[in-house]
Structure 1
Amino acid sequence: MAVDIVTREFREFFNEEPTLVTSAPGRLDFLNTHQDYKGLPVVAVGINLRTYIAISKSQGEFMVASGNLRDDNVNYFDKFSLSGLKLIGGKWFGDYVRALVMAFMRHSYAVNPFRAWIRSYVPIASGLGSSGTLLVALASAISAVNGFNLDRKAVAEIAYEAEHDVMGIPCGRLDQYAAAFGDIVVIETKPPYNVEVLPRLSGAFLVVDTGIRHSTADIHPKRQQEIDEGLSKLLSMDIPGNLRKKLGIHYWEVHWNEIKEDDMSRFIRELDDTPRRRILYTLRANESTKLALKVIKGEAVDIKDLIKTLNLSNTEVDSLVSSYDWRETLIGKVMTYQHKLLSEYYDVSLPEIDKLVNFLVSEGAYGAKLSGAGLGGSVIALVRDEDKAKELLGKVLDRGLAPRGWVVSIDSGVTIHGQ
């Protein structure tokens, strides 16, 4: 078991027993990708690829080591004290730990020095939320060993603050909240940041790691700037007051959830191509997510909405709703539709990723899309069952479309395994 492994590794490295072990799941960026930093709801799935933290109190200094980095024969140990605490920079892994301690201190928590060992089964930069699961697992460990007793939401918030505010990474709250709560969840990314656990879908999830690595820090600022350019142009137009009040100078100020594309289309078409596509992505991905949520929750869906939102023909809709697995089929359609938007309207896909998505759908997946910031990382697919997922993964690997993948199951959120 992973808990036994991280406990043994901690013992061997620090020559003592850990006080406790925590873990948090990686996540599938299921629906409404690239929308959390705009304040729109996002849908995530916690999966059984997890990050584990073994921890105990220490004397004088904070010490943290990464089993994964040790495996890679690179510097895997960091040591620091509260006096003059600062970030190192240069993508140093210890900065995540330092930033988290600094975030706790911002809220006047007296964090005692600790020893921590990290063992993660969430691939780095693969679009599965590796940094979010690390921060959430570690925040939970720090809370537990110090007796802070933070709940899931508080753990998610302090993990977000560490990454966004302290480290300056322009992320939204998707990764941290998904890691904290697990399961299939809708995360409201505007205050008070409510989380709703959804009914589980039938079928299985397949995760295919493209092997193409990326940095989220390079992607988000550019897209945010492009949206702001479009907003600036829109605000310079003669837009009716009832629409103008829903807009803002910056992407995070806009009331996106209240804007209909039909109401804005004549103004949006006047924008330059890039900001036009970025704004259309935002509106269309959000509308299709609303549709998917109705389906997952078992609410009534208007056939006209299906046709309009997903650009389906009457024949396609008739075939879809008459199938025994129409629910999963429809969710798959939304996934693939959103991938097309990410590729053509948000420019965060690549030809090899598009090829992989098309292959998975052509071979029987309900739907597929990239997971995470894009330009690499992983593709996720919703498949009929585990056997079909294994079959698809075998075909992907045999054809050299990707180097590795996993058939994953939905898993619980952050967990304390022993005290």
Structure 2
Amino acid sequence: MIITRSPLRITLGGGGTDLPSYYENHEGFLIAAAIDRYVYITIHRTFFDEFIVKYSKLEKVSHAKELEHPIIREALDLVNLDGRGMEITSMADIPAGTGLGSSGSFTTALLKALHSLKRNIVHPEELAEQACHIEIERLKDPIGKQDQYIAAYGGITCFRFQKDGKVKAWPLAISEETRHNLEDGLVMFFTGYSRRAADILKQQDDQTKSKADAGAMVANLHYVKDLGLRSKDALEQGDLIAFGQLMHEHWQYKKKRSGAMSNPQIDEWYDLAMRNGAVGGKLIGAGGGGFLMFYSADKTRLRHALLAAGLKEVRFHFDFEGTKVLAQ
């Protein structure tokens, strides 16, 4: 049996500039961090010719081309496997649609498992690019590249999305003390809302490409990219209060990109957090639901207020291993 895992992620600055409609003209930049919440894939050989796939549904087919699950179907085609005599199962610590990049984590974990089955050695860059090829080029999802890349690489990583489609990745130059303080000061709460990131990202993508609407959206993303670069500087200088304030500023600009980015209940919870020790925060991911994340120098007060409001906290640490094989 082959078991792989791929980390989920949080974005620390510059989110939204990793879509092709933006970076192909202006270059994108963001900082992402992998966390110790994972998507798992298992593959094992069976004694039957049929292909069995277990996720939120159960599929039994004679060939991978017959699968309903688009990512699994395309991944097997990419690595030239038909699936016969195989069983693939997926599990996750946190459900999809909550803003932590689960689709990119799923695709990288799946590809890692398939390459392991074929005894292929695959570098994180190649793994991430193959995952992007499946989701963006083959399946035409209007999404960015950060989820696949941070899942493959792990760590707290800076990414530059170049106009030619290539991605440059390097570790954030953060001190160990600052990293521990950052991890200690970040708190994350589930809002209870879930959504498809592609729905909100498609609106951003369409506006960026539209002659009528592109100006405002591109200007917004220019500013968000600058906030990402300023967040990088603040983190590398160990100024976590400044980083938290930039998170707050980022959230204000993020909400301007779409009316579906927030709702009155999320705004109420955010305001409650800001009155109870949060320096700044935002919804993680494309918006519309999922997790609210805050940086706070007074976590006890913040935690007490949001737990009393009915939110559920999910605690985490950073992951520095990226997508990996657990058993083979």
State the TM-score, normalizing by the size of structure 1: 0.68
Q: Aligned-pair distance for 1:279?
A: 2.5
Q: Aligned-pair distance for 1:276?
A: 4.5
1:332-382 deviations in Å (ceiling 9; x for gaps): 111110000011344422222233223223222232111111111211112
Alignment partner, residue 399 of structure 1: 309
Indicate if the aligned counterparts of 2:143 and 2:201 stay in contact, CA closer than 8 A: yes
Alignment partner, residue 248 of structure 2: 336
1:29 aligned to 1, 4, 11, which one? 11
C-alpha distance in 1 between matches for 2:5 and 2:323:
6
C-alpha distance in 2 between matches for 1:157 and 1:33:
19
Instruction: Map residues 303-318 of structure 1 onto 2, 5 A cutoff.
Output: none
C-alpha distance in 2 between matches for 1:112 and 1:61:
5
- SS of 1:202's partner is helix
Indicate if the aligned counterparts of 2:9 and 2:32 stay in contact, CA closer than 8 A: yes
Q: Quick one: structure 1 residues 116 and 334, their matched pair in 2 at CA, closer, same or farther if it must change by over 3 Å? A: same
Indicate if the aligned counterparts of 1:54 and 1:116 stay in contact, CA closer than 8 A: yes
Alignment partner, residue 202 of structure 2: 221
Q: Aligned-pair distance for 1:33?
A: 1.9
Say yes or no: does 1:294 pair with 2:233: yes
C-alpha distance in 2 between matches for 1:61 and 1:173:
33
1:35-91 deviations in Å (ceiling 9; x for gaps): 11022122111111111122223464432213xx3xxxxxx21233447x1553xxx
Instruction: Map residues 146-165 of structure 1 onto 2, 5 A cutoff.
Output: 146-165=118-137
Indicate if the aligned counterparts of 1:28 and 1:371 stay in contact, CA closer than 8 A: yes
C-alpha distance in 1 between matches for 2:9 and 2:249:
20
State the TM-score, normalizing by the size of structure 2: 0.86
Instruction: Map residues 15-164 of structure 1 onto 2, 5 A cutoff.
Output: 18=1, 20-37=2-19, 38-39=22-23, 40-58=28-46, 60-66=49-55, 69=56, 76-82=57-63, 85-86=65-66, 88=68, 94-105=69-80, 114-164=86-136
Q: Aligned-pair distance for 1:296?
A: 2.3
1:352 aligned to 252, 256, 265, which one? 265
- SS of 2:251's partner is helix
Structure 1: runs of 5 or more not aligned: 1-17, 70-75, 89-93, 234-273, 299-325
Indicate if the aligned counterparts of 1:155 and 1:180 stay in contact, CA closer than 8 A: yes
Indicate if the aligned counterparts of 1:342 and 1:349 stay in contact, CA closer than 8 A: no
Indicate if the aligned counterparts of 1:104 and 1:111 stay in contact, CA closer than 8 A: no
Q: Aligned-pair distance for 1:217?
A: 2.4
Alignment partner, residue 418 of structure 1: 327
C-alpha distance in 1 between matches for 2:72 and 2:300:
36
Say yes or no: does 1:196 pair with 2:173: no
C-alpha distance in 2 between matches for 1:290 and 1:335:
12
Letter in 1 for 2:315: V
Letter in 1 for 2:326: H
Instruction: Map residues 244-323 of structure 1 onto 2, 5 A cutoff.
Output: 275-298=214-237
Q: Quick one: structure 1 residues 156 and 364, their matched pair in 2 at CA, closer, same or farther if it must change by over 3 Å? A: same
Q: Quick one: structure 1 residues 110 and 97, their matched pair in 2 at CA, closer, same or farther if it must change by over 3 Å? A: closer
For the aligned residue pairs, the C-alpha RMSD in angstroms reads 2.3
Indicate if the aligned counterparts of 1:33 and 1:371 stay in contact, CA closer than 8 A: no
Structure 2: runs of 5 or more not aligned: none
Higher Cα radius of gyration: 1
Alignment partner, residue 208 of structure 1: 189
Letter in 1 for 2:232: L
- SS of 2:38's partner is strand
Indicate if the aligned counterparts of 2:107 and 2:148 stay in contact, CA closer than 8 A: yes
Q: RCO greater where, 1 or 2, for CA within 8 Å and sep 6 or more?
A: 2
Q: Quick one: structure 1 residues 112 and 178, their matched pair in 2 at CA, closer, same or farther if it must change by over 3 Å? A: farther
Letter in 2 for 1:177: Y
1:111-140 deviations in Å (ceiling 9; x for gaps): 775322212102211101111111111111
Q: Quick one: structure 1 residues 138 and 394, their matched pair in 2 at CA, closer, same or farther if it must change by over 3 Å? A: farther
- SS of 2:242's partner is helix
Give identity over the alignment, percent: 22
Indicate if the aligned counterparts of 1:390 and 1:407 stay in contact, CA closer than 8 A: no
Q: Quick one: structure 1 residues 138 and 120, their matched pair in 2 at CA, closer, same or farther if it must change by over 3 Å? A: same
Indicate if the aligned counterparts of 1:349 and 1:374 stay in contact, CA closer than 8 A: yes
Letter in 2 for 1:285: V
Q: Quick one: structure 1 residues 389 and 119, their matched pair in 2 at CA, closer, same or farther if it must change by over 3 Å? A: farther
Indicate if the aligned counterparts of 1:128 and 1:371 stay in contact, CA closer than 8 A: yes
Q: Aligned-pair distance for 1:175?
A: 0.8
Q: Aligned-pair distance for 1:185?
A: 0.9
Alignment partner, residue 362 of structure 1: 275
Q: Quick one: structure 1 residues 345 and 158, their matched pair in 2 at CA, closer, same or farther if it must change by over 3 Å? A: closer
Moved over 6 A (4+): 109-112
C-alpha distance in 2 between matches for 1:79 and 1:138:
18
Indicate if the aligned counterparts of 2:76 and 2:82 stay in contact, CA closer than 8 A: no
Q: Quick one: structure 1 residues 222 and 95, their matched pair in 2 at CA, closer, same or farther if it must change by over 3 Å? A: same
Indicate if the aligned counterparts of 2:32 and 2:157 stay in contact, CA closer than 8 A: yes
1:132-164 deviations in Å (ceiling 9; x for gaps): 111111111111121111111111111222222
C-alpha distance in 2 between matches for 1:81 and 1:160:
27
